[in-house]
Structure 1
Amino acid sequence: MNDESAAASAERVDESGGRHVPSTRLLDRRPTLNQMNLLFSGVMLGWAGVFGSGVSVLFSGAILLAFLRLYQRKIVFPSDRAILAVALAFAFYLAADVISGLFHNDGMVTWRQVAKDIPFLGFAFVYARLCLSRREDVLDAVERGAISGAFATLLVTGAELTFTAHDRAEGLAGNPGVLAVISSLVYGICLLAAVRHEKRMRWVALLSALAAATALLFTGMRALWPFLLIGPAIPLLVLRPKLHWPAVARGALVAAIPVLVVGYFAYDVVETRVNALVQSVEKIEAGKHDVSLGRRVVVWKHGLEKAEENPIIGSGPGSIQEDSAEVFGVSHYHNFLLNALVKSGVPGVLAILGLFIVPLVVVVRRLRPADETGLAGLSLLLTLQITFLLSGSVGIMLGHDIHDALFIYGTIVACFLVAGKQTLPTTPTLSHAGTASS
């Protein structure tokens, strides 16, 4: 047998990751696009607390690679009108800022802010790349990524609070609020895994959910703490598993021990933040606004006044950073609707609401009751959206690189789990040796 015939009979994994063809060449053992999809999904939605802004770099790279793979005809641009509607809703978010920026052009200040929204154009392209994989495999990868990422995030935050002067955990996200969003999302995915699986996997998922909850408490972000109660209800209401109540009771008794341990270590952070909230309310009632919550009230009042100046088209994307930073030393108005109204007016408000409403409508309309993977997709979408709504109610929702990457890719995965299907290119490229590369 000559070299060519030996190479032709070597084992090689095709793009779907499931069918094997003969090949022994070391080069052909590179990860397939499918395998890279699964690894990427687990890292993006599970490890952001460890990698920090690295996930936004990964997502930007995924968009560029998706363009390349589309050019190479290794992926197929989605033709599903529902998915294209979601992609248009995400593109409109950028368009609203562009329109406002054209009316209120403050030079580089404006267009730097607009440029931050460019990743929202990547929805359909990254979705197309994800379609090389099976829905069930993607869901499994996301769950495993969240479970492992929850433990890793807890290790990072625990070390941070133990060995540094920080009184609130930031992780490599560099901000308690951002880490709280990450931890909340990971917590919800771990709970989803616990509901879907049984026996050992369920216990591992529950422990990882507890780890993510601990990291969330360590951030001291009170706005996200309600999700600790909301999170478990989502997969239970969506998937409606059959519960064996005696087993649930025994599980609750066993879980009481690690919960008490978490309570012990998180007590100081929780007590400090609750006391700060009580003191803030008392000072606001006394007419003093020199505390965190009081400053937010002042910022909101100023934001409403600013919004009244240009309610239709807004004051421009650059106005958020310039005005709020100049007056209050902050980079946003601590409320997602107020932020959008000041920045881009009515189109901006419609755009940011569309980011939530359009995917939710698409997912609900395409959902099949017997489809467990699709139901998991709905659970993921609700977890994602409630997390970001809680964050955006008194803090930042979008406009931060990590937030944007998580929100866009989380929505992509949720929509794919419900409405997606594995789509492989029909070009001859897939039958050639080079297609196993990523």
Structure 2
Amino acid sequence: MNPFTTLRRHLTPAQINVYFSIVCFFSPPVLGSLVSIAFNAGGVWSAILLATKRRRFNIDRPMLALTAAIYAYCAAMFLASIVNGTLAADLRLFLPLITLLLFPISYSTWSITEKTTLARIAILASAAACFGALVIAVIQYHWLGVRAEGGAGNAIVFATVTCLAVMICLAGALSGIEKRWKLMVLAAIAGAMAVVYSASRMIWVAVPIAGIVVLLINRRRFTSASVARFAVIGVAVALVIAAIGSRVILDRTDFLVSDWDALNANGDHSTALGLRVAMWEMGFSAFREMPIFGHGISASRALMKQGFQDQFGLNQGFSHFHNGFLTALVEAGLLGGLALASIFVIAVSNAARTLRVSADPVEWFGATVVLVAVITYLTGGMTGILIGHDILDSTLMVFLISGTYLASGRTIAPTGKSAPATAPGASPQP
């Protein structure tokens, strides 16, 4: 008998979800694309279970609103290709959209997990990920002499998903859901150090912004003196991290200044900053040519490559314009850009509503998960990729699904009627 079949027969659906959740929260910084493999495989399996009525759809209003926005973005991408007659050429480039289309399916399966259990899994798995990320970052930076890329193989992606793990640890420590708050703080510091070693400047900006938001969300649990003390400790920790990572910070600052001088003095677009400026110029020009429907995915890439040759004399080509919204505008026009923006607007609206009407710490933690994901992705996506990378897409879905479910979803049984609600503070049952 197949050992996987035997194992599956001995595990309940809730237990399978536990292991699946551990993989999804632990793997992005440490094991990279495993999160994409796990999420997409889990989504396809969930679709099979739903089709065979071994699972049931969990249709919550916040989830439905997010699903509409995500599906509108995917539809805009398809429509752009149809309008431009590039559907056949774009088919293989549509594969990343499958991850987004799995959102409501994975949500329905994930919501059979008891909320407190899922919250603690997210916190503990993220803590392990932060420690693992630091170990890999130190090895890569000090021993191999390269920017830390973790298991992602890409420094910016590694920094993004590690930043998310840091914020989950910080939120877990402040929310009171996980009692081992000192361990969570240490994990957050370890993850922050890994982000420094990644040398990803925009995520360096995202870390303090998201950290302040996490502190503000949880301020009601503490006195004014406690909040002030946390702020002082936070500044002290930041200074220590900056001192340890001063070499990385100074090197990246020098690179930025050098790139800026080269661009302004000599019009040099061959540097990292210069390439971005060139892409933004080409992107806005391409958007003005096709403002409603865009050029389609493959045509946009061809335009960028041709633009580098014609306008800047560079033999360069990228899969995106190093600005998430500009990429969407070029590929799918205003329809795509507005649909992409609506995903984040609706996510923030759902989280804000929970923070306004609920007092449940688990629901507040879920809202925090959503907000830190939005802050991190939007900050990094201003000069990098927002949608279209397997690890980033899968991790975004993990955070939007789990955060939305924890914040405002309902727990359901695998089949049949909704599972009874667990009282706040009750011990989770694995």
Q: Same fold (TM over 0.5)?
A: yes
2:265 is aligned to: 286
Per-residue deviation at 1:404? Answer: 0.5
Equivalent in 360, 366, 371 of residue 382 of structure 1: 371
2:347 is aligned to: 359
1:125 and 1:248 mapped to 2: Cα distance?
40
Once structures 1 and 2 are overlaid, which stretch shifts more, 69-78 or 352-361?
Answer: 69-78
Equivalent in 149, 154, 158 of residue 134 of structure 2: 154
Per-residue deviation at 1:384? Answer: 0.1
1:209 is aligned to: 188
* Alpha-carbon contact 1:334-1:392 (below 8 Å) kept: yes
1:377 and 1:200 mapped to 2: Cα distance?
17
Per-residue deviation at 1:169? Answer: 0.8
2:79 is aligned to: 99
Gaps of 5+ in 2: 1-5, 309-315, 420-430
Per-residue deviation at 1:286? Answer: 1.6
1:198 and 1:337 mapped to 2: Cα distance?
35
* Alpha-carbon contact 1:156-1:171 (below 8 Å) kept: yes
Identity within the alignment, %: 28
Equivalent in 344, 347, 372 of residue 335 of structure 2: 347
Q: Deviations over 1:302-343 (max 9, x none)?
A: 111111111111011112332324533222111112111110
Aligned residue type for 1:44? C
Q: Deviations over 1:247-304 (max 9, x none)?
A: 7788889889976764454222111001111222222332423321122111111111
Q: Say if 1:250 and 1:106 are closer, same or farther in 2 by CA, change over 3 A.
A: closer
Aligned residue type for 1:349? G
Matched, 1:173 2:162: no
Q: Deviations over 1:59-82 (max 9, x none)?
A: 110111111221343322023233
* Alpha-carbon contact 2:149-2:158 (below 8 Å) kept: yes
Aligned residue type for 1:353? A
1:336 is aligned to: 324
Larger-gyration structure (1/2): 1
* Alpha-carbon contact 1:187-1:231 (below 8 Å) kept: no
Q: Say if 1:353 and 1:255 are closer, same or farther in 2 by CA, change over 3 A.
A: closer
* Alpha-carbon contact 1:94-1:117 (below 8 Å) kept: yes
Equivalent in 400, 405, 424 of residue 416 of structure 1: 405
Q: Deviations over 1:351-403 (max 9, x none)?
A: 10111112222333355331211111111111000100011101111100011
* Alpha-carbon contact 1:94-1:118 (below 8 Å) kept: no
Task: Flag as ranges the 4+ runs of structure 1 deviating above 4 A.
Answer: 26-29, 244-261, 425-428
Per-residue deviation at 1:421? Answer: 1.7
1:433 is aligned to: none
2:328 and 2:232 mapped to 1: Cα distance?
46
TM-score normalised by structure 1 residue count: 0.85
Per-residue deviation at 1:235? Answer: 2.0
Residue aligned with 2:382, SS? helix
Q: Say if 1:242 and 1:107 are closer, same or farther in 2 by CA, change over 3 A.
A: closer
Q: Deviations over 1:73-124 (max 9, x none)?
A: 3322023233222112111111111000111233554112222212211111
1:241 and 1:147 mapped to 2: Cα distance?
24
Count of residue pairs brought into register by the alignment: 403
* Alpha-carbon contact 1:101-1:111 (below 8 Å) kept: no
* Alpha-carbon contact 1:73-1:427 (below 8 Å) kept: no
* Alpha-carbon contact 2:354-2:367 (below 8 Å) kept: no
Residue aligned with 2:151, SS? helix
* Alpha-carbon contact 1:239-1:372 (below 8 Å) kept: no
1:82 and 1:242 mapped to 2: Cα distance?
26
Once structures 1 and 2 are overlaid, which stretch shifts more, 274-283 or 217-226?
Answer: 274-283
Q: Deviations over 1:193-217 (max 9, x none)?
A: 1212399711111111111111111
Q: Say if 1:223 and 1:28 are closer, same or farther in 2 by CA, change over 3 A.
A: closer
Matched, 1:373 2:362: yes
Give me the CA root mean square deviation: 2.6
2:78 and 2:39 mapped to 1: Cα distance?
22
1:276 is aligned to: 255
2:177 and 2:295 mapped to 1: Cα distance?
53
Q: Deviations over 1:175-231 (max 9, x none)?
A: 111011111111111110121239971111111111111111111111111123112
Equivalent in 1, 9, 18 of residue 38 of structure 1: 18
